[in-house]
Amino acid sequence: MVNSTKSYRNTFIILLGALLLIFIVNISLGSVYIPLKQLFLAFIDGEVEKESWKSIALNYRLPKAITAIIVGSGLSISGLLMQTLFRNPLAGPYVLGISSGASLGVAILILGASFFGATTAGFAFSSWGHAIAASLGAFLVLSAVMLAAIKVRNTMSILIIGLMFGSLTASVISVLAYFSSANQLQQYLFWSFGSLGNLSWNEILVLLIIFLIGMTCVIFIIKPLNSLLLGENYAKSMGVNVKRTRNLTLISTSLLTGVITAFSGPIAFIGLAVPHLTKLLFSTSNHKILVPAVAISGAIIMLICDSIAQLPTSEYTLPINAITSLFGAPIIIWLLVRKRKITY
């Protein structure tokens, strides 16, 4: 037991060190390389060799790196919660249809802008417009899922309801897309690619506050989640309030996934792949260990994906969704082939 605790502690120290290192590298790399010494001077408000370096580091790359940490952690934790709740290793943060609801909100705003009139056109193409529309769409789907959770006792039925909401919203988006202009379709497509940049400090503050609220809910369900690993009947026999735990899990996941999708767009595979990698690294199913480990690992992997997407020394950047999918899909395939069975 002592050796296990020491091993976990050492692994956490390594992960935190890796997070700090990759965070610094992420800010340093890009179309313009900023030497580490100049980066340090920019952070302490010292005299930087080129003033543009300071502006790039503090006004663009630092907010983007912080966003990457929040997004990576939030989606990874959401994926872990869904895999535990549904006892399904292929469940991810988007199985409840929250992402689909957010996508529908943005689709109605952008693709339906012509129906609302010219006065809404500016709002429809603004980041705050996207965030508000996505939040409303996610909230409506969340409300429907929570109402279903009250009526339905079977957890698997909630999963199916979430998937059906996803199919329903996808159909509505297809109809809207059919009647939209090329410019509107392009705007919606860019949003659906996902992005960690272009967030103001005010938007990051909103993202951080809701992220912390969601994580606070998670803290209260760590112990019940361990009991749920052996099934709802076992959890009930241990005195766990399964319905309360299920509702808190749904609320936590919805808060984290909804706000992240609202500000950054739908980002694939992070929530699905990271929990499995972390379980492989720590060799445990104890959520007291897994929750912080998954949060740190998700932040690291999102920063790595963002660094690759920036195409260092190039003026071009790749969509973050393309990189996360290239990373996530092979990992899931590898886990399936290597272990023949992946667990929750």
What 3 state SS string does 134-188 have? HHHHHHHHHHHHHHHHHHCCCHHHHHHHHHHHHHHHHHHHHHHHHCCCHHHHHHH
Structure tokens at 121: 């056109």
Spatial CB neighbours of 228, under 8 Å, sequence gap ≥ 6: 84, 85, 87, 235, 240, 242, 245
Contact status, residue 255 vs residue 214, Cβ threshold 8 Å: yes
pTM of the model: 0.88
pLDDT the model gives residue 300? 97
User: Which residue reads 């091993």 in tokens?
Assistant: 7
8 A C-beta contact, residue 182 and residue 210: no
pLDDT of residue 73: 97
Side chain identity at residue 332, one-letter code: I
How many residues comprise the chain? 344
Q: What is the mean pLDDT of each run of 10 residues along the chain (344 residues)?
A: 75 96 91 85 82 87 95 95 84 79 85 59 62 81 77 76 84 87 84 86 91 93 90 85 87 87 88 91 92 97 93 81 86 71 54
Contacts of 154 (CB under 8 A, 6+ apart): none
For 210, what's the count of Cα atoms within 13 Å in the CB-facing half-sphere?
21
Number of Cβ atoms within 10 Å of the Cβ of 58: 15
Could you give the domains of the chain?
Answer: 2-339 (1.10.3470.10)
